[in-house]
Each structure stands twice: as C-alpha cells, then as structure tokens.
Amino acid sequence: EIVMTQSPATLSVSPGERATLSCRASQSVSSSLAWYQQKPGQAPRLLIHGASTRATGIPARFSGSGSGTEFTLTISSLQSEDFAVYYCQQYNNWPPCTFGQGTKLEIK
C-alpha cells in the first residue's frame, strides 16, 4: 500500500498571500495524483487530477505540480473561501487508493 504524507499539518496564511501545500508518496505514483478541498460539514470537492489538471469550475488560482513522489498544490492568492482542509490522493497503484492525512489551511 502506498502511503501519502502531507505537510504541514496546519498552514497559517493571510488572505491575498500564496499558500503552498506538499504531498509525498512512499513510492512513485507517476502523475496519478488528485487534490481535494473539504470545508467543515461538507463533502470533499475535487480540485486537481493528473497532478496538474484543474477540475471543471476550479479557479485558476489553484495549481498543482509534481510527479513521481513529490507533489505541490499552490493557491496563488488566498480568498476567504479557500480556508479549508486539503487532501491528496494517489490512484496509480490500487486497490487501495490512498489519501494523505490532510493539511488544514487556516487564516493567519
């Protein structure tokens, strides 16, 4: 089973600033990496798939990069609605597909 590790656990950033979230896989997952956003009391929402392809309707301020074992989600200019928990998920080698433990993005 591939283990996904996200860092940091909590990230404090001011509105308007850039946020950079990291996700590391225990072995290569090629570009089979997705990012999700989850707000309190809501279901997760797909942001990015294929490591860098934005899902339908996702604003351009969200971008994904990386391949192999190291991945990054960047939010270029944080809006109030972006403060949430973010999860990465690998789907290169499954079952099982596996999620990271999440990064909570909070207002500084």
Partner 1 sequence: QVQLVESGGGLVKPGGSLRLSCAASGFTFSDYYMSWIRQAPGKGLEWVSYISSSGSTIYYADSVKGRFTISRDNAKNSLYLQMNSLRAEDTAVYYCSRGSGWIYFDSWGQGTLVTVSS
Which residues sit at the interface with partner 1, rule CB under 8 A? 32, 34, 36, 42-46, 49-50, 55, 87, 89, 91, 94-102
Closest to 64 in 3D by CA, of 48, 79, 77, 80: 48
Q: Are 71 and 88 in contact (CB under 8 A)?
A: yes
CB closer to partner 1 out of 16 and 83:
83
- CB count in 10 Å sphere of residue 66: 19
CB of 79 to partner 1, least distance (A): 22
What are residue 80's phi and psi, to 5 degrees? -60, -35
CB closer to partner 1 out of 27 and 77:
27
CB of 14 to partner 1, least distance (A): 26
CB closer to partner 1 out of 29 and 78:
29
| DSSP secondary structure, 26-46, as one string | SS--TT-EEEEEE-TTS--EE
CB of 87 to partner 1, least distance (A): 6
